[in-house]
Structure 1
Amino acid sequence: MIRQTLHDGWKLSATAGPVPEHVAGRTVPAAVPGSVHLDLLAAGLFPDPYLDRAEEELVWAHRTDWRYALAFEAAAPGPGERVDLVFEGLDTVATVELDGTVLGSTANMHRGYRFDVRDALAGGGSHELAVSFRSALEYAEEVERRLGRRDHVYPHPFNMVRKMACSFGWDWGPDLQTAGIWKPVRLERWHTARLARVRPLVTVDADGTGRAEVHVDIERSGLDGDAGGTPLELTATVAGRTGRVTVPAGESGAVLTVTVPGARLWWPVGHGDQPLYDLAVTLRAAGAGEPLDGWERRIGFRTVTVDTAPDEIGTPFTVVVNDKPIFVKGANWIPDDHFLTRITRERLERRVDQAVGAHMNLLRVWGGGIYETDDFYDVCDERGVLVWQDFPFACASYPEEEPLWSEVEAEARENVVRLASHPSLALWNGANENMWGFRDWGWPEQLQGRTWGLGYYTDLLPSIVAELDPTRFYSANSPYNPGAPVDGLHPNDENHGTRHEWEVWNRADYTHYRDHIPRFCSEFGFQGPPTWATLTTWIHDDPLTPASPAFLLHQKAEDGNGKLDRGMAPHLPEPKTFEDWHWATQLNQARAVAFGIEHFRSWWPRTAGAVVWQLNDCWPVTSWAAVDGDGRLKPLWYGLRHAYAPRLLTVQPRDGRLVLIAVNDHDEPWRGELLLERQTFSGISLRSVKLSLDVPARSVTRTEPDESLLTPENAQEEVLVATAPDARAVHLFREDRELAYDPAPLKAEAVAVPGGYRVDVRASSFARDVAVLADRVAPDAVVDEMLVPMLAGESRSFTVRTGADIDPAALTGPLVLRSANALSAPVVRD
């Protein structure tokens, strides 16, 4: 097999549509893989699409057609040689021509395409390859007119074309509809036969033997000189052990099984190590020495499933790895950049490391994005992060008629096979919120009996997973009641399967997370703005306010700012300045989400997972993300790290009173002294009790504090503190807006240290949620800890990593060294 990449020398031009004069008639260099927006940005013909209100200036590109062209040299095929032109991904509605002859048309960015071009290249020499892209929006509108409208969120009919749904805009994403050759393109020269598909099904036998059952599909060239082809030999090697099979003439598939006795098990992070084994598959002509083709991947030996066996409550949804139930601590994942070709492996490593740094063990690849890349999965394999992969369906009713049914089948088959080797892949999910949408969002009345996607979720996709990847669990939707729609229960029923909790954020205060005890909460979240450095890099309104034009363009949620303000109102004083509003909304976001997580974790094993919406952003925006569009950690990230910590103390209501819940997500018992103390903000101890803490491995215990600890003498000025080895919890008896905080309880000094600065802080009075917002001083600055409660008399050092040379005193300024106290106005005492 000889591969010749075709990435250099492409040219791009607009061919139709409302093209501005400064772009019309221009031909610019095109990067492949790449996209139109990035090429025009590089050529100076576009403003940066993320900057200020540039998104509004680029609407014309939605209805523009484009042409990519490449002149290249290719030798004529040799005797018996097949030559294929391979596109791994085209975004999206494209016609491919070679030397003016149409090879084919495409309308699906989620799959690849292969064209036999041996006859076209027969003369060798110079050739021209062209790929013409139609407006995906206009194509989708045409399909909608032909098949009939199906309800969807947001204005554009993204459900009518197999393209990344959030490319058309979302409540956290821009409406910048990409087009381009977004994955590699190459010529492949081969003879006799090639490996068309390699699909390893990796399991572990009861005796600990690792088993790799390798399914191989072979394509024969048809140029061997005999109708039956030639006998072939396949080998598969893992850990020095080899399986071998002969494929008789005329056959096109085989299965090889390689066993590895005593294989080291792959575990999710926090539960063990992540050993990976090299798997190599080689194809030869029988009796020949030189390989015809080869395939290599890394695999991990583990078993993974989801326990949904009915119990006395309903239907659990518990991820089980190597026969061990796992509490899922996760986040939803969206494409890490709206322009997918800018996402490098290094960027994915940083992002997944941020997830692991917040004690996460699962990322859910949401259905409005893409089937994630092998780089993403490789990184998750290495870090021990489980992946829940949605099929790309989200928040819409999808037609099941042609041409969509065949496209969905083709993309699903290709991607299930492509991802099957990754040990991090834990489960497949049919769609996001579509069964819920059919139940509650008025779809039946609008559909009038037309198809809406149920056949995909309950027939096509589960049958493909059962055929091609039977080692993994399939869920029809999220949220999903495994008995629905047969049993008539709601898809979002808290006692069955997965649940999304969006009353909080949309309508209810975050304390209402406690109204439900889901079996598994796969979406919940709360908004906050990006970090100050990210915000001010991309938005330049003067003055900058929550209602300024560019700021509002980067707030995509319906009534987003109103929900932010209403979400703060019961808890925090009304901010007086934009800087205070920025800090307060970030703080409230972190508190709201941590509140939900602590509630969910306190109910293990009844509740078996919390997957927050969302880890990351695809551009600089006010959103639910913990990591903003420039990759900076928002306060929420620190809140997640606290709430997902392996050992957690949390005060929760049970049976009409407050109790202390201790959560131990370690394989070792958690033992030590537990100190419960009620003290004044000024540090006077009013009541204290010492108890023994003994929490078994991977379990939750409950302690009922004496009423004297729960009954304040002055609720405005007292705090309950629970301290144990590795964990602390504080409980306030009123909301912040009602508390008599010292508004300036901190004294601090910053000094230079290798790699950055150390900020030494001392509290003269109780200070809640102490933070150093270091990015306000240097854009690259990152602090090691944030949202720390400090008791009167306590000292704490924060380390800031930065390459910038700054005045250390800037790190102790009032807009950098922050706490909840500084938001508070003086309180009239009872």
Structure 2
Amino acid sequence: MNIGIWDDVLLRVHEACTLDDVSVTTDADPEAGTGEIFVSAAACGFAVPDAAASGGERDADGHVEGVNAGGAQALTLRIDVTDPEGVLVAHGEASIGADGRTGELRIPVDQVRLWQPNGYGEQPLYGVRLTLVADGAVMDAREFRTGIRSLSYAQNEESPTEALPYTFVVNGKRIYVRGVNMTPLDHLYGNVTPEQYEYYVLLMKRAGVNMVRVWGGGIIEKEHFYELCDRHGLLVWQEFVQSSSGIDNIPSQRPEFLELIALTAVSALKAKRNHVSLTVWSGGNELMSEPNVPSTYEDANLAMLKKLVETHDPRRLFLPTSASGPVQYITPEKGVSHDVHGHWKFQGNPGHYELYSDVDHLFHSEFGVDGVSAVKSLKKFLPASELRPVSMNDSLVWRHHGEWWDTYDRDVELFGAEVGSDIGVFSRASQWIQAEGLRFVLEANRRRQFKNSGSVIWQLNEPYPNASSTSLVDYYGESKMAYYWTRRAYSPCFASAAYQRLNFRTGETFEAKLFAGAHAATEGLTVRSRLLGMDGALLHEQTNAVSVDGEHTAHAGDLHALVTDAFGALFLLRLELLDPAGALLHGNDYFFSTLEREVYAPSLAVGDRVRLTAAALDDWSAEDGRLEAVTRRFKLANDGDHAALHVHAEETTNGWWMAADDLYFTLLPGESREVTVTCRRKRAGGFLARDVGLAGDALPELVFRSF
């Protein structure tokens, strides 16, 4: 590591013998209601003056493996399993063999409570205590918390026979991946606090994320992160630490590198295999043997890693790299895309919609759309002279803080020159296109469930204060508009619209295909579609009955409406999924224009026609009793005569991280909505340490705004 010691340092004092190489994994039979915990371990000795006399050899750490490593003692491993309430439910015992190992022990658990991924159920964790006993005396003990579940892998529907299995099956149910990529939370890894990990894991959970890819250009994360993923149902895609990152795509074959990565891989395998959240290993990020051709298991580097996974964690899949091919980048060419990466930019209007509506990849493990950070964050690292809308071609400061992610020309094209008049307008407009572009990709992929088995967004977070990037949450923990639109796209029950462009001229027919889906089979659903003007006028309405099978996205019907002068320059499609009783399950607003160019420019000319009010419905209440996390409900209303677009909130003391159950929604004239806001005290290192304690004893202060 390039920064020295960054993780916890522990000093352990051993008895004559100690446990080593412990493996705790699980399996289940969901139909029978039974589970299994598989345990293996080794015993090592420290109190032997001569290795040969004990029948073992000293390893690199100076201890000796073998049943007699601690002298002529009889070694026994005891295993106690407790349920999530701490009640003993299973027990096992085994003698340590002559080689110092137990072999794999199977501990059955009846009436098991299954661990489920986020959105599919709860995450009960069982306690597993291992006790090493020598002649009746306790030598060592280890405790683990693990979930019990089955895990397997399947090919996609209509998958080519040679394709890898990209569908993850947990407890017998195929899980559609709703994922994010995670980079280190800070470039200086030691700055990251347990509170930061918890904040980001909870952000993922509340956004409906069920898989996080720990990117190969980063690190094997701290134990606390994986423990949080266990607790909150986040499946982990863990990459070994190698990445091309646009520099050198071919996996290194240098002997000294292979030796080093083997050491780090074995260390990671032994530590992380004991986490129920760990789901799949990957050799690294964007490893390619030639341009646009991902490396395979034939590569010597990846073949070595594959063998290590088979040795140390044989129940889990090893993918050679991400993307795993047979082509690297997304393409409309048919039959060549299995797991692909790209794009990371909005592809224009109509190009973005034409491309993502006409692809057939099996899995989409990295892609994104860029957007500018919140102004609140920009003020923390940009000098006053640079707090202005600007192309990165014209500012070395902006270029330094996110060179690839220049959205200025894109946003001027869609909003007009006025987007460059104010940094707040620029930030909000840029975030709108990021959210719009990303949502369309997510929904297009999900419409092909399980021909496509999932999406993994690049990316959740940033390790550095970037002025613009593809992250859903900026370095300072401020959630962008794309976070909340991703949350809607990842909802367990959802409705979505497929369209080919953002503008329809007067006299043309507005066209969209309507879809619905859910995790569980449901009959009697209704998709309600309304085209609405910015003044709230109803332009078109229809309802479509639909049933879903819990596995696939159902086509609910088509929408066709003649665009007239009554539509105005800007109008929206409000799509709602209703349950059999007519209650709202999910809602989405899509924004369209009748203009030929600068299609979203009318959104900037609202003036004072929006009157947004916010009323607190209760006082701040503490989740934990210590005012570390507080919650409050608000009622937001629009008393004006124009739609309040993308209503959002900002916490102004800078001492709290903020998240809500919904934000960046639109209130038409006369509409209101209740939201619940949760704020957590900032407990962070790095550049974020400046914000710690800024709030003092004060509670959060919020300001609500519209676009």
TM-score range normalised by the length of the shorter chain: 0.7 to 0.9
The alpha-carbon deviation at position 270 of structure 1 amounts to 0.8
Residue 702 in structure 1 maps to residue 555 in structure 2 = yes
Residue 577 in structure 1 maps to residue 422 in structure 2 = yes
State which of 734, 738, 749 in structure 1 corresponds to 2:599.
738
The equivalent of 1:469 in structure 2 is 313
Residue 343 in structure 1 maps to residue 210 in structure 2 = no
State which of 817, 821, 825 in structure 1 corresponds to 2:705.
817
State which of 499, 510, 533 in structure 1 corresponds to 2:376.
533
Residue 234 in structure 1 maps to residue 84 in structure 2 = no
The alpha-carbon deviation at position 275 of structure 1 amounts to 1.1
The alpha-carbon deviation at position 647 of structure 1 amounts to 2.1
The alpha-carbon deviation at position 424 of structure 1 amounts to 0.5
The equivalent of 1:827 in structure 2 is none
Gaps in structure 2 of 5+ consecutive residues: 56-67, 83-87, 501-508, 578-583, 621-631, 680-694
The alpha-carbon deviation at position 747 of structure 1 amounts to 0.8
How far, CA to CA, are the matches of 1:768 and 1:605 in structure 2? 37
Residue 210 in structure 1 maps to residue 35 in structure 2 = yes
Identical columns (%)? 24
Residue 795 in structure 1 maps to residue 620 in structure 2 = no
The equivalent of 1:432 in structure 2 is 285
Post-superposition Cα deviations, 1:82-105, rounded to whole Å, max 9, x if no partner, equal: xxxxxxxxx4xxxxxxxxxxxxxx
The equivalent of 1:258 in structure 2 is 107
Residue 199 in structure 1 maps to residue 46 in structure 2 = no
Letter of the aligned partner of 2:650 in structure 1?
A: A
| Larger-gyration structure (1/2) | 1
Residue 516 in structure 1 maps to residue 359 in structure 2 = yes
Post-superposition Cα deviations, 1:389-415, rounded to whole Å, max 9, x if no partner, equal: 011111133422221112111111121
The alpha-carbon deviation at position 350 of structure 1 amounts to 0.9
Gaps in structure 1 of 5+ consecutive residues: 1-90, 92-177, 445-450, 820-830
How far, CA to CA, are the matches of 1:309 and 1:588 in structure 2? 31
- Aligned residue for 1:705, secondary structure, equals strand
Residue 688 in structure 1 maps to residue 549 in structure 2 = no
Change (3 A) 1:475 1:683: same
The alpha-carbon deviation at position 683 of structure 1 amounts to 3.1
The equivalent of 1:640 in structure 2 is 486
Asked whether the 8 Å contact 2:292–2:329 carries over to 1, the reply is no
The equivalent of 1:501 in structure 2 is 342
Letter of the aligned partner of 1:748 in structure 2?
A: L
- Aligned residue for 1:399, secondary structure, equals coil
Trace 1:149-548 onto structure 2 (pairs within 5 A). 178-205=2-29, 207-221=32-46, 223=48, 226-228=53-55, 229=68, 230=72, 231-239=74-82, 240=88, 241-248=90-97, 251-285=100-134, 288-308=135-155, 311=158, 315=163, 317-395=166-244, 396=248, 397-435=250-288, 438-440=290-292, 454-457=299-302, 459-481=303-325, 484=326, 495=335, 496-502=337-343, 504-505=345-346, 510-511=352-353, 512-545=355-388, 546=390
What root-mean-square deviation, in Å, do the aligned CA atoms of Structure 1 and Structure 2 show?
3.4
Asked whether the 8 Å contact 1:688–1:709 carries over to 2, the reply is no
The alpha-carbon deviation at position 817 of structure 1 amounts to 1.9
Asked whether the 8 Å contact 2:613–2:638 carries over to 1, the reply is no
- Aligned residue for 1:663, secondary structure, equals strand
Trace 1:69-80 onto structure 2 (pairs within 5 A). none
Post-superposition Cα deviations, 1:703-728, rounded to whole Å, max 9, x if no partner, equal: 33353467886563544333332223
- Aligned residue for 2:371, secondary structure, equals coil
- Aligned residue for 1:774, secondary structure, equals strand
The alpha-carbon deviation at position 518 of structure 1 amounts to 2.2
How far, CA to CA, are the matches of 1:310 and 1:572 in structure 2? 41
Post-superposition Cα deviations, 1:260-313, rounded to whole Å, max 9, x if no partner, equal: 12322111011111111111111121xx23211122111111122331368366
Change (3 A) 1:778 1:735: farther
Letter of the aligned partner of 1:502 in structure 2?
A: H
Which deviates more, 236-245 or 472-481?
Answer: 236-245
Change (3 A) 1:670 1:523: farther
The equivalent of 2:625 in structure 1 is none
Q: How many residues were matched structurally?
A: 617
- Aligned residue for 2:474, secondary structure, equals coil
Asked whether the 8 Å contact 2:344–2:370 carries over to 1, the reply is no
Change (3 A) 1:491 1:790: closer
State which of 451, 454, 458 in structure 2 corresponds to 1:609.
454
Change (3 A) 1:653 1:184: closer
The alpha-carbon deviation at position 702 of structure 1 amounts to 1.3
The equivalent of 1:720 in structure 2 is 573
Letter of the aligned partner of 2:384 in structure 1?
A: D
How far, CA to CA, are the matches of 2:433 and 2:282 in structure 1? 31
Asked whether the 8 Å contact 2:536–2:668 carries over to 1, the reply is yes
Trace 1:643-654 onto structure 2 (pairs within 5 A). 643-653=489-499
The equivalent of 2:588 in structure 1 is 729
The alpha-carbon deviation at position 378 of structure 1 amounts to 0.4
How far, CA to CA, are the matches of 2:444 and 2:328 in structure 1? 23
- Aligned residue for 1:607, secondary structure, equals coil
Asked whether the 8 Å contact 2:647–2:667 carries over to 1, the reply is no
Post-superposition Cα deviations, 1:609-635, rounded to whole Å, max 9, x if no partner, equal: 111011112122132111111222122
Asked whether the 8 Å contact 2:516–2:546 carries over to 1, the reply is no
The alpha-carbon deviation at position 224 of structure 1 amounts to 6.9
Change (3 A) 1:413 1:543: closer
The equivalent of 1:666 in structure 2 is 519
The alpha-carbon deviation at position 248 of structure 1 amounts to 4.6
Change (3 A) 1:712 1:380: farther
How far, CA to CA, are the matches of 1:312 and 1:234 in structure 2? 45
How far, CA to CA, are the matches of 2:586 and 2:562 in structure 1? 19
Letter of the aligned partner of 1:297 in structure 2?
A: F
How far, CA to CA, are the matches of 2:196 and 2:524 in structure 1? 39
The alpha-carbon deviation at position 386 of structure 1 amounts to 0.6
State which of 382, 391, 411 in structure 2 corresponds to 1:568.
411
How far, CA to CA, are the matches of 1:401 and 1:464 in structure 2? 18
Change (3 A) 1:577 1:779: farther
Change (3 A) 1:706 1:334: closer
Asked whether the 8 Å contact 2:297–2:306 carries over to 1, the reply is no
The alpha-carbon deviation at position 677 of structure 1 amounts to 2.9
How far, CA to CA, are the matches of 1:577 and 1:410 in structure 2? 52
- Aligned residue for 1:273, secondary structure, equals coil
TM-score by structure 1 length?
A: 0.68
State which of 591, 608, 624 in structure 1 corresponds to 2:436.
591
Letter of the aligned partner of 1:519 in structure 2?
A: L
The equivalent of 2:506 in structure 1 is none
The equivalent of 2:611 in structure 1 is 747
How far, CA to CA, are the matches of 1:507 and 1:438 in structure 2? 29
TM-score by structure 2 length?
A: 0.79
Residue 786 in structure 1 maps to residue 663 in structure 2 = yes
Post-superposition Cα deviations, 1:754-787, rounded to whole Å, max 9, x if no partner, equal: 2368463316455364223424676647463322
How far, CA to CA, are the matches of 1:764 and 1:711 in structure 2? 24
Post-superposition Cα deviations, 1:175-223, rounded to whole Å, max 9, x if no partner, equal: xxx4222234454443432212101232124744322221212223361
